[in-house]
């Protein structure tokens, strides 16, 4: 069994949904690195100050076994799930000292193995020696449809055209940034989930994990 699984891909590809299920089936810990960038974005927003090294230096971000997210000791799991915080996360994720701090935290979290970690640079930068690397993608339209469903299920207002715009902007920012851009690692397995069900993607990852 592969002890460390890295799942990368663009926004809305289904990384967290399938990673959570795979983690539960294998008895692994799921680590959502996007949530950590979102927590930094929330911290900046709430501080009313521009992003600075001291603001990030003092930040305390943790995830628990239930994938709840804590910022400076306060639970922010739901608060970070808005399109604005998604874009804010994509902005702070361009900054070298933010990536350095979160990358170190993420490596520490994976140190004991039995983890599935999702993000944008897990297979390329954070855990280049991961036992299994997946690059999970889907068409922009399909990803936007899923995001819209998620947002409306939470009672948040959104429309399809705006979600496509937000996802496209994040794709652009995440793939074009200078440091640790979103990219498929050379040794990653490409999975296109556009016309696959969640269960089909989960089954494929479990099959690859057992090889």
Q: Would you tell me which residues interact with ligand DC (CB under 6 A)? A: 11, 33-34, 37-38, 86, 89-90, 93, 119-122, 170, 174
In whole angstroms, how close is the CB of 121 to ligand DC at the nearest point? 5
In whole angstroms, how close is the CB of 136 to ligand DC at the nearest point? 11
In whole angstroms, how close is the CB of 148 to ligand DC at the nearest point? 15
CB burial of residue 155 (10 Å; 0-12, 13-18, 19+) = exposed
Phi, psi of 74 (to 5 degrees): -110, 135
Q: Which two tokens stand for residue 17?
A: 């949904």
Stated as kind and residue range, the H or E segment containing 117 is strand 115-119
Spatial separation of the C-alpha atoms in residues 168 and 3, rounded to whole Å: 33
In whole angstroms, how close is the CB of 134 to ligand DC at the nearest point? 14
Spatial separation of the C-alpha atoms in residues 192 and 195, rounded to whole Å: 8
Please identify, using beta-carbon distances, which residue of 77 and 90 lies nearer to ligand DC.
90
**Angle, CA 57 vertex, CA 55 and CA 59 arms, to 5°:** 70
Please identify, using beta-carbon distances, which residue of 186 and 211 lies nearer to ligand DC.
186
Please identify, using beta-carbon distances, which residue of 2 and 91 lies nearer to ligand DC.
91
Please identify, using beta-carbon distances, which residue of 121 and 132 lies nearer to ligand DC.
121
């Amino acid at each position: 069994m592969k002890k460390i699984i890295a799942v990368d891909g663009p926004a809305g590809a289904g990384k967290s949904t399938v990673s959570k299920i795979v983690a539960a089936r294998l008895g692994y810990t799921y680590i959502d690195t996007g949530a950590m960038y979102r927590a930094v974005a929330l911290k900046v927003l709430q501080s009313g100050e521009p992003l600075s090294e001291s603001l990030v230096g003092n930040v305390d971000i943790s995830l628990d076994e239930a994938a709840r997210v804590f910022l400076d000791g306060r639970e922010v799991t739901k608060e970070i799930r808005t399109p604005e915080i998604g874009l804010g996360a994509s902005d702070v994720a361009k900054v070298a000292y933010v990536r350095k701090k979160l990358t170190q935290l993420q490596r520490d979290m994976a140190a004991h193995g039995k983890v599935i970690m999702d993000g944008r640079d897990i297979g390329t930068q954070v855990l280049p020696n991961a036992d299994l690397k997946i690059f999970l993608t889907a068409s922009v339209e399909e990803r936007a449809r899923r995001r819209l469903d998620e947002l409306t299920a939470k009672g948040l207002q959104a429309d399809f055209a705006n979600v496509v715009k937000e996802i496209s902007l994040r794709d652009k920012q995440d793939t074009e940034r200078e440091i640790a851009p979103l990219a498929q690692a050379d040794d990653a397995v490409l999975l296109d989930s556009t016309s696959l069900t969640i269960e089909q993607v989960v089954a494929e990852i479990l099959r690859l994990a057992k090889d």
